[in-house]
Amino acid sequence: MHRLTTLLFAFTVILSLCHQSYGQPQNIVLFLIDDLGWMDLGCQGSTYYQTPNIDKLAAEGVRFTDAYAACAVCSPTRASILTGKYPARLLLTDWLPSGRWKPSSKLIEGRKIRGLPLEERTLAEVLRDAGYQTIHIGKWHLGSEPFCLPQHHGFDINIAGNAHGAPGQYFFPYQGDWSIPTTSRRATWNVLPNGKPGEYLTSRLTNEAVNIIKKSDNTPFFLYFPHYGVHTPLEAPEELTKKYERTPQHQQQGKPVYAAMVESIDHSVGRVLDALKSAGKTNDTVIIFTSDNGGFYKATSNAPLRANKGAYYEGGIRVPLIIKWPGLSKPGRVIHEPVITNDLYPTCLAAAGLSMIPHQHIDGENLTPLLHETETLLRNSLFWHFPHYNKHPSSHPSSVIRKGHWKLIESFDPETVELYNLAEDLGETCNLANDEAKRRDSLLGELEAWRQTVGAERMVPNPNFESE
């Protein structure tokens, strides 16, 4: 009897530990950095940017080498995180409120919506309904009043989130003057209504996050922390900028002021991690760190990746991704499986011990099997669709598919097809579309089938276009 009691007790303990790792509510902190490039971290290989806190997070968690943003510009990626869907399925495929199309363009841009639809059951809504406190701090950029702000999409607390994609300035009063696309009007705004002279936005937002963590009780929380940094305007504390100015120019990966902004983000991550430790929540918190698109060409170099934010070469869509999941992620592991920001929705559900909602996060995969080393993902391909023009270099209206190591880009203007073997040509320097015609045509067929499945908006010829 004693032996049976002992065995039952041991079994109960094991079940309890398993439940704690997979089922019991876990706090979730999701850092989304704006315009942070794939190579802009020490753990990613940079010798210029100093990111010791983020590097430590990678050493204690799992780092993904082949992680992608759902779009090469910001708003659609943010929508994919909160819905688990491809931007093309949402018809939210460009930054908001975008208006780049010109009447003289060869093609007429596809339709796009102007805010995150209320019909979507966001990640924040699901977690709130499960008893989580849901907190948004930072950049929103998914619509405006009267129904498209964070508080309309499941967040109990919204600090600094509004329609704008950047602060007017990074120092208080954070005010700016903004040209309204497709109109001759301008708007004045600031992201926070109060503060004090000299206050730096990245630090201020971090203060808000730290204070909330300090005041937290036993209620699980979802802290969605989409920083405005390191988006333009390029501004940082003077003493930090001078630190990077002392590096010889030929050794600089990007502008010194941008490097200072990156280090400020690193300080933010470190302070949040310290706050979690002080509150005794380190072992109960899943931490996710990623970026919304590739690095901006005027700020940083994405080499060895080709191109930059706005483009559908690797430099525009491949991003850092780090996940620290206590009890699940083996410290220091590196995963090479291709993943995308759509995957964060079901992964966060798993962190909360909630059932999957496949009809909502239809385009996302739960990443816990990869973290647990139990199996690979079921899907074979990733997709992108951008039926728009923009002013970023190397950017064209296009659709993209990645399958295994192969990546195909179908550009609509100019009409081109490019095919790259990323395992052998990470910099996308050798177009194999003619050499691998059978593979090219197969991928084109799969890409077209996907566009039909998700209802991707098509570009059409412009009747007013006159070729030169």
Q: What's the pLDDT at 374?
A: 76
For 147-292, where are the alpha helices, taking DSSP H only?
201-215, 238-245, 256-278
DSSP H or E segment with residue 373: none
Q: How many CB atoms lie within 10 A of CB 2?
A: 6
Calculate the CA dihedral of residues 140, 145, 151, 152 and round it to 10 degrees: -110
Q: What average pLDDT does range 294-305 have in this prediction?
A: 98
Q: How many CB atoms lie within 10 A of CB 190?
A: 19
Please give the radius of gyration of the chain, using alpha carbons only, rounded to the nearest integer: 22
**Two tokens at 429?**
């320097």
Domain range annotation of the chain: 25-380
Q: Does position 17 have pLDDT exceeding 90, yes or no?
A: no
Give bridge partners of residue 225 from the DSSP assignment.
31
Q: What's the pLDDT at 99?
A: 63
Name which of 142, 147, 194 is nearest 165 in CA terms: 142
**Two tokens at 454?**
């998700």
Q: State the average pLDDT for the chain.
A: 92
Name which of 242, 284, 319 is nearest 25 in CA terms: 284
Q: What share of the chain is helix, strand, coil (3-state, %, to 5)?
A: 30, 20, 50
Q: What's the pLDDT at 13?
A: 34
Which of 17-31, 290-304, 310-324, 340-354 is least confident? 17-31
3-state secondary structure 376-425: CCCCCEEEEEECCCCCCCCCCCEEEEEECCEEEEEEECCEEEEEEECCCC
**Two tokens at 129?**
């309904």
**For residue 146, what pLDDT band results from cuts at 50, 70 and 90?**
confident
Q: What's the pLDDT at 15?
A: 35
Active site residues: 74, 141
DSSP H or E segment with residue 60: helix 52-60
Please give the CATH topology (third level) of the domain spanning 25-380: Alkaline Phosphatase, subunit A (3.40.720)
| DSSP label at residue 276 | H
Q: What average pLDDT does range 176-182 have in this prediction?
A: 69
Q: What average pLDDT does range 152-181 have in this prediction?
A: 89
